[in-house]
Amino acid sequence: VSIALVLPSAGSGRRLDAGRPKALVEVAGVPIIRRTIERFASLAGLVELVGVAPPGAVLEFNEALVGLELRGCEIRVVAGGESRQDSVRAGLAALTKDAEIVCVHDAARPLVGKETIDAVIEAARLSGAATAASRPADSVREDDGEGLTRPLDRERLWLVETPQAFAAELLRQAHARARATGLQATDDASLVDSCGHPVVIVDSAGGNIKVTRPEDLDLVEAILAKEP
């Protein structure tokens, strides 16, 4: 199958507070987005890749990706929007190759495993929609908004991650519908779900961390140092 990869990276990185876009922050000398893209380097069928940058940082993103070559894959950077959903929509609009599968992956998850990527793509190929996810390590309670909380069964909960992958047309429809109805969601699987299309879960088995706070940079560096 042909695959397009959209990398939403247009957030402000407020919690990381690095004074620059999160995806450009370096871990052991390499920008996070570059590390993330390298995880997809051996993905068969990848025909194009669109990085979605904060509007003022497109040039800087292009600089961070200089010399990066993925066999048969075109690499482009476009400007994102106010919300992650806006940014993914901008990335979708910039695709030109008519790939059958669109994979969306947060640039902020540079440790994603190859097995997880392959399993998400394969599940999307078979069923139309899939996401990586993992089980919570902590116990979880739900707030009823009126000062009371109740415990949830964590064995039935999934923490939703990326990569997420979809039949291209389904994802486009889901974004168009969300726009028309005003639906806002923090991930693409939620949009596809709201169209009545089930989303297959692929257990990433943890480790697919999203760089969010400063201490996550040290964690990612330490984990990379242990990789073979």
Q: Which residues bind Mg ion (CB under 5 A)?
A: 11
CB of 161 to ligand CTP, least distance (A): 10
CB of 52 to ligand CTP, least distance (A): 5
Q: How far apart are CA 58 and CA 64, in angstroms?
A: 10
Phi–psi pair at 18, nearest 5 degrees: -95, 0
Which residue, 17 or 98, is less far from Mg ion as judged by CB? 17
Handedness of CA 212, 214, 218, 224 (dihedral sign): positive
Q: How far apart are CA 85 and CA 167, in angstroms?
A: 17
CA 200 to chain centre: 16
CB of 160 to ligand CTP, least distance (A): 11
What residues make contact with ligand CTP under the rule CB under 6 A? 8-15, 22, 52, 80-84, 87, 106-108, 210, 212
Exposure string of 107-125, with b = 16+ CB inside 10 Å and e = fewer, is: bbbbbbeeebbebbbbbbb
Which residue, 147 or 182, is less far from ligand CTP as judged by CB? 182
Which residue, 9 or 128, is less far from ligand CTP as judged by CB? 9
Which residue, 19 or 196, is less far from ligand CTP as judged by CB? 19
Closest residue by beta carbon to Mg ion: 11
CB of 89 to Mg ion, least distance (A): 16
Residue 131 contact among Mg ion, ligand CTP, none, beta carbon within 5 to 8 Å by kind: none
Q: How far apart are CA 122 and CA 132, in angstroms?
A: 12
